[in-house]
Amino acid sequence: MDDMRGRTLGHSGITVGALGFGCWAIGGAWQNTDGDPLGWGAVDDDESVAAVRRALDLGITFFDTADAYGTGHSETVLGRALRGHRDEAVIATKWGNLFDARTRTAHGQDATPGHARRALTASLRRLGTEYVDLYQLHISDAPLDAAAELRDTCEEFVREGLIRTYAWSTDDPERAALFAQGEHCAAVQHACNVLQDAPEMLALCAERGLASVNRSPLAMGLLARNPGAGADAGTGWTRGSGDIRAVPPAWLHWFGEGGLPVPEQAARVDAVRDLLTSGGRTLAQGALAWLWARSPHTVPIPGIRSVAQAEENAGALRYGPLGAAEMKEIATLLAA
């Protein structure tokens, strides 16, 4: 799994590039029942489609979405973009969150097998495909007994030809290990970036031969910003912008109220900026290079919603992983 051009999802034989395409942002604006934003603001669907197709041209073949992103809109746009290109792509989606597409509102979770089947049927329709390559449980803290039943349900889906492999999107190694007991479990999706390492999860992936699909590889954009830059022209985001960073949930460690970077986190980025941008990389490219150096199992999925972002992120593949010396110095600086 150390080839930048092709990494395998677990023991499935499904090969993807070392870089994926996160599809959360292309879902557009949506919200929770309190009216807090859960998306990344308004999007241009034509630009999203162009970004997906440009990514394919550049060797990005792994596309990660979820039924809840944009309350179904992300899957619909991805399906449109991949029409006629399905055989070139590996599609990952997720289930478990409930939503109303008419009001673009999320409203709870459902960890039952019955819902899993209904959700999968709906995802296949929106994506315009007969199967999903990687189906992921999107309830990070689902009870272990319910998850074991869902793992068995996923095995049924594999036998029926509806999915090829499955995974859990969770930051809990115990939960990930439970899913990994399944024959066709191929990955774990978990948070990991320069500012938030995940040594236990990476060790589990190495031990079980699982792909480590990395969400938040750019720390929700903090690892893709110019020195001293505020959000969008120097200011934060407002609730009306539709950007989740405007009213950050508890797990969003890098931005505070109004979408401004947490000063301590911004200082950590500045401390390692020169190392991440060494050799001509942009900051985002350096953050991706750190993940590739961290483990040969990693497949980061930075959010992309424009052709320019697809091109910048794909450019990281030309540089490859950071070197051992840079990795050691970054660890020392962040531990200080």
Instruction: For residue 333, give the H/E element and its range.
Output: helix 324-335
- Indicate whether 234 pLDDT > 50: no
> Is the pLDDT confidence value at 117 over 90?
yes
- Does 1 fall in a domain? no
| Element spanning 158, H or E | helix 144-159
Q: Is residue 268 part of a domain?
A: yes
Is 2 part of any domain?
Answer: no
Residues in the chain: 336
pLDDT tens, residue by residue, 246-293: 999 999 999 998 889 999 999 999 999 999 999 999 999 999 999 999
**Hey, which residues does 303 pair with through a beta bridge?**
22
Burial letters 306-332, b for 16+ CB under 10 A, else e: bbebbebbbbbbebebbeeebbebbee
16, 45, 60, 57: which is closest to 313 by C-alpha? 60
Residue 209, domain member (yes or no): yes
Share of the chain above pLDDT 70, in %: 94
Average of per-residue pLDDT values in the chain: 94
**pLDDT in the model for residue 3:** 61
pLDDT in tens, 24-52: 999 999 999 999 999 999 999 999 999 99
Q: Is the pTM of this model over 0.75?
A: yes
SS3 track for 267-296? HHHHHHHHHHCHHHCCHHHHHHHHHHHHCC
Q: Which residues contact 69 (CB under 8 A, 6 or more apart)?
A: 23, 24, 26, 27, 30, 39, 75
What's the number of domains the chain is made of? 1
Domain CATH number, residue 271: 3.20.20.100
Q: pLDDT-derived band of residue 214, with 50, 70 and 90 as boundaries?
A: very high
For residue 241, name the pLDDT band (cuts at 50, 70, 90): confident
Query: Which structural domain, as residue segments, surrounds residue 60?
Result: 7-335
CA distance between the termini of the chain = 32
